[in-house]
A and B are shown apart, each in its own frame.
Chain A
Amino acid sequence: MLDTIQTSSRGAVVPGWTGVVRHLHVTPRAFLPMREMPEIKLVEGKGIEGDRYMIGREQGFYSHKPEEGRQVTLFEFETLVALKRDASIELGPEEHRRNVTVEGVPLTHLVGRRFWLGETLLEATRLSIPCRHIEEITGKSIFDPLINRSGLNCKILKGGIVRSGDAVRNFQ
């Protein structure tokens, strides 16, 4: 959550925050359902073991278009709450097709920044963009409601095990 105002090492004032990992999901191939995992293994510079976008595996919907920042993707739990509250759309954490659902993490502020996901260190490369493909898979009209809140693409600077309940912290 956004809780304090902190001064970064470069002197700029940035909001402080701490978040938590709520759900972890992977799937080995395009179109297949995401499976919830108690923990996942992030491999530096490559991706998540067993996931479709792990470099060297590449069986995702976008695998023909390589992208460094697709090694791990995050999604805000708060968006699921907002979709239900504002648009009566029930979207489960297994349906948005990002790997990590976090709570209390301002994803849209993190592009270009580094942060800790449990013991792993990530660098956010860009905001995710929703895709019509997700409507085909879920059967739900969620393309428009997900514009500008469809998650965050990241590369893995330091690998490790991420578990549900792990803290998410800014890198100072």
Chain B
Amino acid sequence: MTAVPITTVTTIVEAIEDAGPDVKLFSLVDPDRWELPPFRAGAHIDLRLPGGMVRTYSLCNDPADDKCYRVAVKREPAGRGGSAKLHDQVRVGDMIGVSLPRGGLILDAAISRFIFVAGGIGITPFLSAAALLLRTGRPDFALHLLVRGEPPLPRLVAPFVQSGHVILHDTTTAGRPDLAALIGLPAPKTAIGCCGPAGMIDDFERASRDWPGERVHVERFVPPALPADPNSRPYTLALARSQIETRVEPGQTMLAALLDLGIDIPASCCGGICGACKVDWLEGSPVHRDRVLSPAERARSLMVCVAGSAGVRLVLDL
């Protein structure tokens, strides 16, 4: 029996390659080389690094490559330490827990032409898309790569440069190109995308203002905060017997907040129907969203996997 719930996909570092200036390419596989959960082109995964650090990276391989997650990591000396940890401490053979892949590019079959703009290491999601587009017989795409000097991932980028799909723009010699000129005016059956640093994304969003929103894909290095439910408010969760308090953020479940505190809650379905995570409450105004408790039971209990709080403070009998 495992002591704690398994919350990540277990992977092992199969290979680490030097991949351009300050860039390393990590190949993550299942310990038995089993298929990994599928992903869309350019989807991202969270890597659980030593010391509890969590960092998000785009997958840069073809989604058809179902036994490997490949992420390119640029060392950011001024960053928060995730890239340095990956560069300096992670070795081939290490185990890394990763999240299920999220997001990615929707390469709609109704779209026949794609124009991508990437800044440096921001090329990674588009390399994944480029591999998929070529494999599926959709070669009409252009990937403008803005770099300062040598491009990242030269081994992966070179074939696309040779085929004319990747157009390099070295901003140390020619300055930053006009993004509006690169993407042009809105055209039928054409979609555009951009991934890069914040300033470049801002420019791209200005340049693409006239494009229909569903045909514009923007990928930021630092993801914006998830839109919270407008009616959701943070509240204080107090545990009477343990004498502990914590703050439950909008969008966070009470269950997640309790697990973060190390409280062992026997949750199961996480959808409010199985009844496993029933807890008594003492003070406050719980919002019940379960489908198992009767009105009489709700007067004293709640299901922490789905319940919320209408007030600023809720006290549990834990």
Contact = CB atoms under 8 A, between A and B. Distances in A.
A27 B34 contact: yes
A32 B271 contact: no
Contacts of B273: 129-130, 147
Contacts of A60: 6
Nearest to B6: A30
Interface in A4-47: 27-33, 35
Interface in B1-44: 1-6, 8-10, 30, 32, 34-38
A164 B1 CA distance: 30
Contact of B34 (A29, A129, A137, A147): A29
Nearest to B270: A132
A157 to B, nearest CB: 22
A66 interface: yes
A35 B2 CA distance: 23
A65 interface: yes
A79 interface: no
Contacts of B36: 32-33
Contacts of A62: 5, 268
A165 to B, nearest CB: 24
B100 interface: yes
A31 B35 CA distance: 10
A125 interface: no
B268 A29 contact: no
Contacts, number: 75
A133 interface: yes
B35 A32 contact: yes
Contacts of A27: 34
B6 to A, nearest CB: 4
A64 interface: yes
B266 interface: yes
B222 interface: no
Nearest to A131: B269
Contacts of A137: 37, 100
A63 B1 contact: yes
B136 to A, nearest CB: 20
Interface in B100-144: 100
A29 B269 CA distance: 18
Interface residues of B, number: 26
B274 interface: yes
A136 interface: yes
Nearest to B305: A132
A33 B38 contact: yes
B269 A64 contact: no
A32 B2 contact: no
Contacts of B5: 61-62, 64
A31 B9 contact: yes
A31 B30 CA distance: 11
Nearest to A61: B6
Contact of B1 (A31, A32, A66, A136): A66
B34 A59 contact: no
A83 B14 CA distance: 40
Contacts of B1: 58, 63-64, 66
Contacts of A171: none
Given A60-B6, A129-B268, A133-B270, 19 more contacts: A29-B9, A30-B6, A31-B37, A32-B35, A33-B35, A33-B37, A33-B38, A33-B66, A35-B35, A59-B6, A62-B268, A64-B3, A64-B5, A64-B6, A131-B268, A132-B269, A132-B270, A132-B305, A143-B269
Q: Which 6 A-B pairs have the closest CB atoms?
A: A132-B270, A30-B6, A132-B271, A129-B274, A31-B9, A63-B2
